[in-house]
Chains A and B, each alone.
Chain A
Amino acid sequence: MTAFAGLIIIYIAFGIINPTVFSGQNIMNLLRSMSKYLIIGIGQSYVLITGNIDLSIGSVVGMSAMIAATLMTMGVNPVAAILITFVCCMVIGVLNGILVGKWKLPPFIATLGTMFVARGIAYMVNGNRNTDAIASGVGKEAGETFQNVFYYGKTLGIYNTFWIAIIIFIVFFFLLSKTRTGRHIYAIGSNVDAAKLSGVSVVATTTKTYLVSAFCSFIVGLILCGQAGMGNMEAGNMYEMYAVAAGVIGGISPLGGTGILLGTLAGASVWQTLENGLNMIGAQVGIQRLVIGIIVVFAVLLDVVVRNGVFKKKAPSK
């Protein structure tokens, strides 16, 4: 929760330098840009809590954007295009789950493989080219509707993208903290042997986390497709790492077993507020990246310090 306190301080500090930070439009933009990172952060957090990692997130985002856009430029009905894209993304999730959960491949390697596979598919679906505007296939009206649903439209005065993120957050927050599956996810992350001996199916649970991750990537792919109005082969590049950053800033332990999604929300918020603020005061992209890097390390350092009590008394290590 230190992250939330940090968030407010950062926000006010930037606001003092440049009061437009507080403007309604900026807040709207901030919420929208944060949404993408929150969604992929949720997916990655699920995987991180089991003590694994998903490197395929960014590529699945790209794959999702490209498949959906290609189908729509071919004139496929947007709803059908979304469903087909969904199935394709879930296949990658299942694959990750089988490789890591069943065949016990190191998650770093397994998802490194699927990362290349998914990016390869993203390139291949439209013959190694970005797509044309989706409106060229499904028509101007349907194209605009798609873009509004995922990016430009507002409901109750707030961008739809943010609402999508909030719904996903609530659903997966509930799933993780209140249900049996959620408990199994924590148990595997804390002690996989004990979990197995307690009747937890490691394969099924691991696969579920990768499915959640693939689902989140799928949604973000659609958002990026809506934003651009076309498919970009490089969409979602590096998102798997942004997702780790969002989770880790918010206190999700990459070692597994600990962390809550509220932390991921805080992590994504802190990061985007920072990026937004730096932007508003005219900082260059280079500076922005550098600051984010420092924040990630600092957040984890803070976590380690609090947990091991470097500044306080030592806590029992057992």
Chain B
Amino acid sequence: MSEKEIIVSMKDICKSFPGVKALDHVQFELCSGEVMALLGENGAGKSTLMKILSGVYTRDEGSLTIFGKEYGDLNPKLAQEVGVAIIHQELNMCRHLSVAENIFLGREKKNGIVLANSEMEKEAAAILEELKIDLDPRQVVGELPVSKQQMVEIAKALSTNARILIMDEPTSALTAKEIDDLFRIIRDLRAKGCGIVYISHRLEELQYIVDRVTIMRDGQYITSMDFKDATMDQIIANMVGREIKEKFPRVTCEKGRKIFEVKHLNAGRMVRDINFSLYEGEIVGFAGLMGAGRTETTRAIFGVDPKESGEIILDGETLHITNPKDAIQAGIVLAPEDRKKDGLCTKLSIRHNIALPNLDILCNKLGVVSRRKENDMCADAVKNLKIKTPDVEINAGNLSGGNQQKVVVGKWLARNSKVVIFDEPTRGIDVAAKVEIYNLMNELKKQGIAVMFVSSEMPEVMGIADRIIVMCDGRITGELDARGVEQSEILTLATRFENKMASAE
């Protein structure tokens, strides 16, 4: 690798938001040709620090030097000119525009006053080619899977000649193969002398690409070190300020009676002839690749999407669920996958969010909300889920990702349910918060509530679930006992596409 020089140096950075000190004298350094992992729990200040570097926020105090030049207040445009590009956790794509249009958004090329579409498409194709991404620049972004959209984001960043690339949780929505592609791209960029800041909660993937780590906690700089000198336990201990004993706490319960059964459920192409049962005292994991139809299955059960046929049986009774309200009233709840889109009302307070699905409990016969009951419910949720917030009147949108997720889960656990469906409950949240979510699921399991746990992260499915149902392409392709299961077995089932099955049936 070529000679390394310091390209970013941030010293004593402070930043306050109303009521919160987000950053407290933080240091950060990045060299050319390295991948720096920026680690910390949710709310540690990683995203805030990177938003300062990319000009989204302005700092209150501290100095910022990029490529040896000291900068005052940056703005996103200036940061881009300097060569800083950020790929956000939430994708910022215009879904109705094409790949090329997105890549050149805000910097469109023109012939006179007319857009030079063919030129932009050609250039976009060249960038995609260089990154070895197989995409048609004319395709509409909204039609692409999330992983490809992410690739477009990266292509967009590189098309601005960015030399400092910030990636915030880039792999959270990707499959193993797509992660390999991404890492290949990252390695290429590193070899070209780019500096890459890599924010991720998936510590197990760091070993494949990271050179150095910087660890933050509660808005403060903790340490930075070469990755090869650090052990995983050391990193985790620095992140959470204490040692986490078990990454996947498991409790054993007696498997009881059958609570919930789905028979011959069909709902569109992604939900085909689904049959399964949930029993008292067990967590059933749903594994599979992205787009295997697991989310669609949960949505069909919960009555969000229409069902074509099939039976849903709870405690021996067949239910007729046509909308989420029916499901909730029957005692089935769903903590959805995409919290920004489906889980939270970000403009409303935590109190309003937690109360929303539980207003039937909180209201009297006239529909008037009891503030006392509501406050009790929220206080319990904040306490039980350890939601970090000064009070429940804060807008849910102002919380960090992990705490938002806790609100989503909390609003469903505030009522007595018989079946709880979790769809990717730990996506994008840190180790400690993950363990808290696992503990909650275990708690439900102990109470005899049926837990359906959809996750794309195999280690957690294997570590937490008692039974694993694997889906592929809208069908259930197998069921495994979690005890002694091998990752390869799940993967085999998860990739058993229909053409292979054709001869067997």
- List residues of A whose CB falls within 8 A of some B CB: 178-184, 186-187, 189-191, 193-201, 257-258, 313-318
Given contacts A193-B342, A198-B324, A198-B357, contact A186 B352 (CB under 8 A): yes
A128 to B360, alpha carbons, bound, how many Å? 49
CB-CB under 8 A from A316, the residues of chain B are: 17, 22, 48, 398
A178 to B364, alpha carbons, bound, how many Å? 11
Closest to B412 in A: A198
Q: Are A191 and B363 in contact (CB under 8 A)?
A: no
Closest to B324 in A: A199
Given contacts A197-B334, A198-B324, A315-B17, contact A178 B369 (CB under 8 A): yes
- How many residue pairs bridge A and B at CB < 8 Å? 94
Does B368 touch A at the CB level, under 8 Å?
yes
Closest to A257 in B: B347
Q: Are B342 and A257 in contact (CB under 8 A)?
A: no
Closest to A201 in B: B325
Shortest distance from the beta carbon of A305 to any chain B beta carbon, whole Å: 15
A197 to B397, alpha carbons, bound, how many Å? 18
A258 to B334, alpha carbons, bound, how many Å? 26
- List residues of B whose CB falls within 8 A of some A CB: 16-18, 22, 47-48, 56-58, 60, 302, 304, 323-325, 327-329, 334, 336, 341-348, 352, 355-357, 359-360, 363, 366-369, 397-398, 411
| 8 pairs of A and B residues whose beta carbons are closest in the complex | A190-B345, A257-B347, A198-B357, A199-B325, A190-B347, A180-B359, A199-B328, A180-B367
A269 to B360, alpha carbons, bound, how many Å? 36
A257 to B397, alpha carbons, bound, how many Å? 12
CB-CB under 8 A from A191, the residues of chain B are: 341, 344-347
Q: Are A197 and B345 in contact (CB under 8 A)?
A: no
- What are 7 A-B pairs with beta-carbon distances under 8 A? A179-B369, A187-B345, A187-B356, A190-B347, A194-B344, A196-B304, A257-B347
Closest to B359 in A: A180
Shortest distance from the beta carbon of B324 to any chain A beta carbon, whole Å: 5
Given contacts A183-B352, A199-B324, contact A313 B60 (CB under 8 A): yes
Cβ-neighbour of A195 out of B60, B345, B355, B363 (below 8 A): B345
Shortest distance from the beta carbon of B92 to any chain A beta carbon, whole Å: 12
Q: Are B302 and A197 in contact (CB under 8 A)?
A: yes
Given contacts A179-B367, A187-B352, A199-B324, contact A194 B345 (CB under 8 A): yes
Q: Are B342 and A194 in contact (CB under 8 A)?
A: yes
Q: Are A179 and B18 in contact (CB under 8 A)?
A: no
Q: Are B411 and A198 in contact (CB under 8 A)?
A: yes
A196 to B341, alpha carbons, bound, how many Å? 11
Shortest distance from the beta carbon of A287 to any chain B beta carbon, whole Å: 37
CB-CB under 8 A from A197, the residues of chain B are: 302, 304, 324, 334, 336, 342-343
